[in-house]
Structure 1
Amino acid sequence: MSGPPVLYHCPCSQLHAPPPSLPSAANQSHPLETLYFCPECDAIRCARCVSVEVSTYYCPNCLFEVPSASVRAEKNRCARNCFVCPACSNTLQTVSMDPSSSTPSDPGEKYILYCTYCRWDSTLVAMTFDKPQGLASQFQKIEDDSPSMRELERLRDHFEPLLRPRTSLHPYTHARSSSANNAALATLRRDGRDTHGHGMRASRLGRSGRARDVEREKEKYEDDLPSYKSITAPDEPSEQEDISLLRSLTEVDDILPLSQQQTDSWIPPLYMTDQRPLRLPLQSKKSKRCPACRHILIRPEQKAQSTKFKVKIVAANYLPALEVSRPEDASVSHVRRRTGTVGSSGEMELHAGRSYHFVLALTNPLYDPINLRLGLQQPSGEGTSKPHFAVHLPTNTIGVAAFTDVWDYDEDEAGEEDVPRAGQKDLPGRWKLGVVERKANTTKVGGELVLSREAQGDVKVNLLVTYTYKSEDSQAADGKEKGEAELKTFAFWTVVWLGTVPLRQPESTSQPVS
């Protein structure tokens, strides 16, 4: 059975997270390789709840590190000769128009931007340059003089004095920033530039007490923000000229594809001759912190050419990895390797009214052995319906060996010959629930899935994993000796996918015509 991985539940801002039983909690479950772990809070963190900070900006082409103070002035783009091809998004090169010229310092020589992938060059848009250096400053000057860019700068200068002092660093404290946003929206509505959708939504929310508080905040900050006046009068683009040109069109290749029209600018170009090369956008390296204690979880190297991390605390180094498989998958995969066929989705299908056996592999990433217990979530509550399947797992404590060197595992293989292997049964006709295999730092336990005749759809079970490990505290504050082992217990919820039962086709009620 090869399907989606076991998903781990992240409590995010909740101190004591409930079991992920509701459908709305599906976005709180993630694969293990995408999660982080805070050793100070002993909590799982995901990409939705961590605080992100920009460490450095750099150009992905020339790897030039840009100071943070210069990013806004350079419009978040490279200030050197790094340009993007408007046709294929490849990097452009600066070449001479006369390749046979042997004097690069010729004052009459012209230079162009050339794409080595799609053969696009800047002569198609009537752009040539006298010098091969300083091209980015020329492009930036053209961008700054455009009406749309001047209008954007005016909007930014208008709203930034109100938004900047109310921005909070905490990801869950949005009260201050929301009040500033409400003031900005109130001013836009007062000027008549807001859409009808915002008014309808505000009228619906006005019935609640929280919406009334928001309205009072809007009135409070409405007077603080002056009304905005545009530099130029808004004018709707005329389509008559485009229609007349399209009617006289002879080549379809003269029109830009829709994918390129929507990525160039606010006013998308229509013709190939209207394309302009763009300066290469900057990229950034980001650091991530725990939202509760501000502990650093991810910190990359500052150098642009480096791919290493100064700090990298991921959940895969702290939480045991879980993997589900079926005992018969080993023989099926062996036959597939011999025949060269590719597995189909039928291997993941289950059938209602049957029982299936599965193996749950538990891998310990710690350097100390752990004792692990598994617990299934039981349906509770008045309106909770019982599932149409039952899962049986061992309830006793399961020991998993520590992660160590490979040659240390060879010494322990001789004493594990009496351990029953996967597929053995403790009683005739009954699958063994318990440890079925131990190898290195991985322990496999057997489980059983019983489906009722009404079962259909995905079979998922919420599994609570609780493990205990020894932690050596080098700085004991309670008077204990240095290096004394301390037992710690950590629990987390997972969502285990066991397969899919095909949906039943509705029975036909029509009678055959005799």
Structure 2
Amino acid sequence: MAYITGPDVVKYACTCGLLKPISQLYFCRYCCQLRCGFCVCHEVDSHFCGKCCENLPSSEARLKKNRCGNCYVCPSCQQELSTRIGSKGPSNPDDPKSTPKKMYYLSCLYCRWSSRDVGIPDQSAATGGWPDRENVHANRLQEIIDMYKAVVLAEKQQKEKDKKKQRGKYLSYTDRTGVTAASLRKRIGLPADIQHSLLKTKPKEPEPVIPKEEVEDLPEDIFTKLVKLMEVTTIEQRLLQTDVQPITVDMLFPIHKQLSIKRSLRCRSCEHNVSKPEYNPNSVKFKIQLFAYYHIPEIRIVTVEPLRAGRASELIVKFTNPTQHQTTIAFLPLDSVAEEAVGEEASFNQQEASFDAIKQSASLTSLSSQPSSLLSLSSRQPSITIKPRAIVQEVTADVAIPASKVILPPRDDAAEYDDSGDTHNIQDDPKLVVWRRSNKAFVKLLVTPRENLPINTEVIIGFTMQHVYTNTIATTVENKEPDKHDHNIKVFLTIGNLVGSD
């Protein structure tokens, strides 16, 4: 039996209000809430090359402009270039029995572009050493970058100086006694204030651009000469080499491959990691992988009867328990969890007020008199929490909410190869559960599309799935038993298009 699956068929409501498939959601075990890509902080763990798997630190990757120094991509089709071997005469011309000399060049196996097409000489070693095209405006660009770095540094120092003025008259114990840092510097022969002297120095401005009075004329045959499209570069090819922007294909040079990153995702509310990969670029494993697929029951559409306006249709949905603990699924209407959204918004406002109180206390109290715990709180920047938004999804059909519940046993990998059909002796409602095996169950629901809907209208239903989640993280030292609580998730299913009446 083929399941009706797809990225837009079954969607779960995230805590922030966005609708995402279960494959794009995370589950924070500390907050016990769903998190999408907008509810987590993205942190770069490491930089590496996807071809040679060389791991680079952040400082070196920034210095190399996020490019690998050994691997190249094709300037024509952006595929990876391969090193090919060619022969170039005998290694010893005086000896007729000498073997041909091996030479290496870059070639694209996709579009057949090679470094020989643009006149790049072959290399005697396969490790690289390919010549890079020098930018004639490199010095000018470096001067502009240095100027803006100096401007940013001066603005940062000015902000720090303004903050010190707002904190109060006495910044430290030495200010109360009259022995300031400036007087100590004066006694030992150092300048009174280094930051003040830096602020007075203005950043060095580059030389102004002098316009040309004489401009070269356009060629006479520019409007009459036929344009050969196979010799002209595309906009994408030009933007890949912004320093040169070649017009013809004979000016295309190999491009250093862009580095890839491994990132870790952190919950914005509790600041715990929900995803953290291995540092080694050759490894595809994760140290922490709190994907929702491993904690939240998965829903798939099995079959659905033809949908007609105002008539009840039978819908069979498959539920799968991915956890190692038994869970119970109950069905609730969408309006039953309205109070939960209000509670989340209140907690968000309370968290904002606590952050404002910390900032205000840090501005009124001197840093030297604060305890270490308050100092760490005030110096650490809190995460930016996302305020829950209303779910924007129109429901075009009503679902008959069943009163009974569905029990799903824990996941057992060996049960996939067991043909005994063990049902764990669970007494199910035959009107609700039509089939079960291991940790899976087929549930029958009645769906009634709303009247006065035009034909071919997309039918969308929604309900609240309440399942028992078993949290294995011990909240306290005394209580080491797993914590069980009900977790509510809003689910929206696109079950098909509306057909005409009989």
TM-score by length of 1: 0.64
2:112 alignment partner in structure 1: 119
Question: 1:393 aligned to 2:393?
Answer: no
Amino acid at match of 1:440: S
Instruction: Give the Cα–Cα distance (whole angstroms) in 2 for the partners of residues 131 and 164 of structure 1.
Output: 50
| Structure 1 unaligned residues grouped into runs of 5+ | 13-24, 167-175, 177-222, 329-348, 422-431, 505-514
Amino acid at match of 1:91: E
2:234 alignment partner in structure 1: 257
Amino acid at match of 1:285: K
Q: 1:233 aligns with which of 199, 203, 209?
A: 209
Query: Cα distance 1:235–1:101, how it changes in 2: closer, same or farther (>3 A)?
Result: farther
**CA offsets 1:315-364 (integer angstroms, 9 cap, x no match):** 11111111223256xxxxxxxxxxxxxxxxxxxx7332432110122211
2:293 alignment partner in structure 1: 316
Question: 1:361 aligned to 2:359?
Answer: no
Question: 1:45 aligned to 2:35?
Answer: yes
1:56 alignment partner in structure 2: 46
Within-5 A mapping of 1:42-441: 42-80=32-70, 82-94=71-83, 98-102=87-91, 112-128=105-121, 132=125, 138-139=131-132, 142-143=134-135, 146=138, 149-150=141-142, 153-154=145-146, 157-158=149-150, 160-161=152-153, 233=209, 241=218, 244-245=221-222, 247-249=224-226, 251-265=228-242, 268-326=245-303, 350-378=307-335, 389-407=397-415, 413=422, 432=431, 434-441=432-439
Instruction: Give the Cα–Cα distance (whole angstroms) in 1 for the partners of residues 291 and 77 of structure 2.
Output: 36
How far has the Cα of 1:150 moved from its partner?
Answer: 3.2
> What secondary structure sits across from 2:436 in the alignment?
strand
Question: 1:2 aligned to 2:4?
Answer: yes
> What secondary structure sits across from 1:157 in the alignment?
helix
Instruction: Give the Cα–Cα distance (whole angstroms) in 1 for the partners of residues 157 and 307 of structure 2.
Output: 57
> What secondary structure sits across from 1:150 in the alignment?
helix
Instruction: Give the Cα–Cα distance (whole angstroms) in 2 for the partners of residues 492 and 301 of structure 1.
Output: 31
> What secondary structure sits across from 1:161 in the alignment?
helix
Question: 1:500 aligned to 2:490?
Answer: no
Instruction: Give the Cα–Cα distance (whole angstroms) in 2 for the partners of residues 360 and 32 of structure 1.
Output: 15
Q: Is the 8 A contact 1:389 1:455 kept in 2?
A: no
Instruction: Give the Cα–Cα distance (whole angstroms) in 2 for the partners of residues 487 and 452 of structure 1.
Output: 38
Instruction: Give the Cα–Cα distance (whole angstroms) in 2 for the partners of residues 357 and 226 of structure 1.
Output: 76
Amino acid at match of 1:391: V
Amino acid at match of 1:492: I
How far has the Cα of 1:162 moved from its partner?
Answer: 7.1
Q: Is the 8 A contact 2:399 2:462 kept in 1?
A: no
Query: Cα distance 1:362–1:250, how it changes in 2: closer, same or farther (>3 A)?
Result: closer
Amino acid at match of 1:466: Q
> What secondary structure sits across from 1:72 in the alignment?
helix
Q: Is the 8 A contact 1:79 1:136 kept in 2?
A: no
Query: Cα distance 1:56–1:234, how it changes in 2: closer, same or farther (>3 A)?
Result: farther
How far has the Cα of 1:77 moved from its partner?
Answer: 0.7
Q: Is the 8 A contact 1:376 1:461 kept in 2?
A: no
Amino acid at match of 2:81: L
Instruction: Give the Cα–Cα distance (whole angstroms) in 2 for the partners of residues 147 and 115 of structure 1.
Output: 32
More relative contact order, 1 or 2 (CA 8 Å, 6+ apart): 2
**CA offsets 1:213-242 (integer angstroms, 9 cap, x no match):** xxxxxxxxxx99989966553979x89648
Q: Is the 8 A contact 1:79 1:137 kept in 2?
A: no
2:361 alignment partner in structure 1: none
How far has the Cα of 1:74 moved from its partner?
Answer: 0.9
2:444 alignment partner in structure 1: 446
Question: 1:30 aligned to 2:20?
Answer: yes
> What secondary structure sits across from 2:69 in the alignment?
coil
Instruction: Give the Cα–Cα distance (whole angstroms) in 2 for the partners of residues 67 and 120 of structure 1.
Output: 32
How far has the Cα of 1:109 moved from its partner?
Answer: 9.4
Query: Cα distance 1:94–1:164, how it changes in 2: closer, same or farther (>3 A)?
Result: farther
How far has the Cα of 1:397 moved from its partner?
Answer: 2.7
Query: Cα distance 1:156–1:38, how it changes in 2: closer, same or farther (>3 A)?
Result: farther
RMSD: 4.4
> What secondary structure sits across from 2:491 in the alignment?
strand
Amino acid at match of 2:153: P
Q: Is the 8 A contact 1:402 1:441 kept in 2?
A: yes
Instruction: Give the Cα–Cα distance (whole angstroms) in 2 for the partners of residues 444 and 401 of structure 1.
Output: 13
Could you tell me the percent identity over the aligned residues? 22
Q: Is the 8 A contact 1:420 1:437 kept in 2?
A: no
Query: Cα distance 1:414–1:323, how it changes in 2: closer, same or farther (>3 A)?
Result: closer
2:464 alignment partner in structure 1: 464
- The number of residue pairs the alignment matches comes to 395
**CA offsets 1:375-422 (integer angstroms, 9 cap, x no match):** 122499xxx99966422120333222221243497666377699677x
How far has the Cα of 1:114 moved from its partner?
Answer: 3.2
> What secondary structure sits across from 1:78 in the alignment?
strand
Q: Is the 8 A contact 2:460 2:493 kept in 1?
A: yes
Query: Cα distance 1:485–1:257, how it changes in 2: closer, same or farther (>3 A)?
Result: closer
Q: Is the 8 A contact 1:38 1:45 kept in 2?
A: yes
How far has the Cα of 1:10 moved from its partner?
Answer: 1.1
| Structure 2 unaligned residues grouped into runs of 5+ | 94-98, 164-198, 339-391
Q: Is the 8 A contact 2:88 2:103 kept in 1?
A: no
2:378 alignment partner in structure 1: none
**CA offsets 1:29-69 (integer angstroms, 9 cap, x no match):** 11101111111111111111211111111112221111221
Q: Is the 8 A contact 1:289 1:295 kept in 2?
A: yes
Instruction: Give the Cα–Cα distance (whole angstroms) in 2 for the partners of residues 33 and 73 of structure 1.
Output: 36
2:359 alignment partner in structure 1: none
TM-score by length of 2: 0.66
Q: Is the 8 A contact 2:14 2:36 kept in 1?
A: yes
